[in-house]
Amino acid sequence: MSTIEKSYLINASPEDVFEALVNPDLIQNWSGDEAKMEAVVGAEFSLWSGQMFGKNLVIEKNKKLVQEWCYEQWSEPSQVTIIIKPKGKISVVTLLHENVPEKSVNSIADGWDTYYFGAIEEMLSKGGKIHTASFRQNTKQVL
């Protein structure tokens, strides 16, 4: 199993970034697909019509989100930790994704850049609706 570590600069406040991570309507906006999410510790969630699913482990509003992430083809769950810090008028987002299966590391790392934080950045900085429904098709091929 591997670990993915990344940092992102997002042109939005920590409050807006956090909301984009936990509000199912905003998630559906930036992902272009069905999402179920609730900003409650212990709540189960699903993204991309249930392809990725899991449970919220830690929630510190506007600061930190820790989740157990599952994918039906993985033998065990992974853990995602997202930390959001203000830097002037932007946010610095640090991602730690642990226990990622070796065969999925490259596709998951690219997915964080393109389909997750890239999509969130685009939605928040431009205020427009974006859709990355192609993630579902691409994910089935590489995971």
Residue 141 lies in a domain: no
3-state per-residue secondary structure call for the chain: CEEEEEEEEECCCHHHHHHHHHCHHHHHHHHCCCCECCCCCCCEEEECCCCEEEEEEEEECCCEEEEEEEECCCCCCEEEEEEEEEECCEEEEEEEEEEECHHHHHHHHHHHHHHHHHHHHHHHHHCCCCCCCHHHHHHHHHC
Q: Confidence band (pLDDT; 50, 70, 90) for 125? A: confident
Residue 82 lies in a domain: yes
Residue 34 lies in a domain: yes
Residue 25 lies in a domain: yes
Residue 74: give the domain boundaries: 2-136
State pLDDT tens for residues 89-118: 899 999 999 999 999 899 999 999 998 999
Q: What is the pLDDT of residue 131?
A: 40
From the CB of residue 90, how many other CB atoms can be counted at a distance below 10 Å? 18
Q: Confidence band (pLDDT; 50, 70, 90) for 127? A: low
How far is residue 56's CA from residue 20's CA, in Å, rounded to a whole number? 15
Residue 62 lies in a domain: yes
Total number of domains in the chain: 1
Q: What is the pLDDT of residue 38?
A: 93
